[in-house]
Amino acid sequence: MSGNLPKPCVLMLADRPGWAFDVAAQAISRRLSDEFEFRIEYAELEPDLSKHRFDLFYVFFWGETYHQGFVTDPRRVIKEISSHRWENEDEYGRLTAAQAAEKYLSDAGTLLTPSKRLQAIFAPYRHVRHAPNGFEPEEFRVLGRRSGKLRIGWAGNLNDRCKGVHDILRPAAGEDFELSVAGGDCGHSEMIEFYNSIDVLCVASTAEGEPLTLVEALACGCFPVCVDVGIVPELVRHGSNGLIVNRSPAAFQAAFQWCAMNVDRVREAGLANAEEMQRTRTWDHVSRHWREALRDAYGGLTARMAEPTAHPQVSSEHPGPS
């Protein structure tokens, strides 16, 4: 962009402050502020978006509708397909990919996903760009060598039934293993301490496209025991740097027993995970995908809207909370 022209404005709509979408929005806005101007708002707070100038509108949740009262041109809207809830949860219809694309994605001209699996699922119906999430290496790293008996943990929103904590992980742990849990209200400093206090990080979700806890835990030297969901096969090589298991208490219990019998291997693999993530998955590494997507979306606008004096007209009317 020319130094004499204002930067394109990107309004990013996350769900709530401090959660995974907000983490990504903050990271991207820091990395790409040389080329774009960012503003982050939260659907939970029902902001009046008509007060803001924007060229592009980035919507983190594919099922979000709040923005529709403020922008009607799909070329301005970028949506992220971040989960599989459209296919396996009643709230969103238990749809096919074709049905989900029609119902939830027709308001967006550009689609992104952090998951290659989701990219392939929607490829027959829409062009979807791959834009993985990263982590801040200053915030998530190995603090020291682990010792003592094997420790198993899980992190996330305990109120989300898709996570499998109550029906899968706690029965798997039983009386033989202690399952440490970090709820969704923990700050970054608490989370790095938590990840470094455990050896094994579990993912038992049915719907997540890219569990951010998996990325952060690997960066902190954890060994993952996961179901085959979302980006798990992109990051976990079964039997090498982690285990991919069936979604049942028995399968997780067997995995826990193997880890307990092979603690040294688990910890060596965890350290290798951290080194690999530092080389490949920091926000500095992955933000280029987001830059390319925003450039293309902005370039796709009309010549009139690309002029420095032309800004989108927004409506002051908006629907209630989605």
What domains, with CATH codes, occur in the chain? Answer: 9-134+283-306 (3.40.50.2000), 152-280 (3.40.50.2000)
Distance CA(165)–CA(171), nearest Å, equals: 9
Share of the chain above pLDDT 90, in %: 87
Q: What is the pLDDT of residues 190-245, one digit of tens each?
A: 999 999 999 999 999 999 999 999 999 999 999 999 999 999 999 999 999 999 99
* Torsion on CA atoms 250, 273, 15, 184, rounded to nearest 10: 60
**What's the first-to-final CA gap in the chain, in angstroms?**
36
For residue 322, the model assigns a pLDDT of 31
Query: How large is the average pLDDT for residues 13-23?
Result: 94
Q: What is residue 80's three-state secondary structure?
A: strand
Q: Are strands 37-42 and 56-59 parallel, antiparallel or unpaired?
A: unpaired
Q: Nearest CA to 8 among 295, 287, 303?
A: 295
Q: pLDDT-derived band of residue 5, with 50, 70 and 90 as boundaries?
A: confident
Phi and psi at residue 40, in whole multiples of 5°?
A: -110, 125
DSSP assignment of 13-46 equals: EESSTTSHHHHHHHHHHHHSTTT-EEEEEEGGG-
Per DSSP bridges, beta strands 128-130 and 110-113 are parallel
Averaged pLDDT, 45-65: 96
Measured CA to CA, the distance from residue 256 to residue 253 in angstroms comes to 5
Which residue's structure tokens are 């970090």?
182
pLDDT on residue 305: 54
Confidence class for position 302, pLDDT limits 50, 70, 90: low
User: What SS3 class is residue 208?
Assistant: strand
**Residue 306 in this model has a pLDDT that exceeds 80:** no
Closest of 77, 70, 76, 107 to residue 305, by C-alpha: 76
The residue behind tokens 């590494």 is 285
The pLDDT tens digits for 268-296 are: 999 999 999 999 999 999 999 999 999 99
Provide the whole-model pTM.
0.90
Question: Which pLDDT score is estimated for 309?
Answer: 45
State the pLDDT at residue 188: 79
State residue 316's pLDDT score. Answer: 37
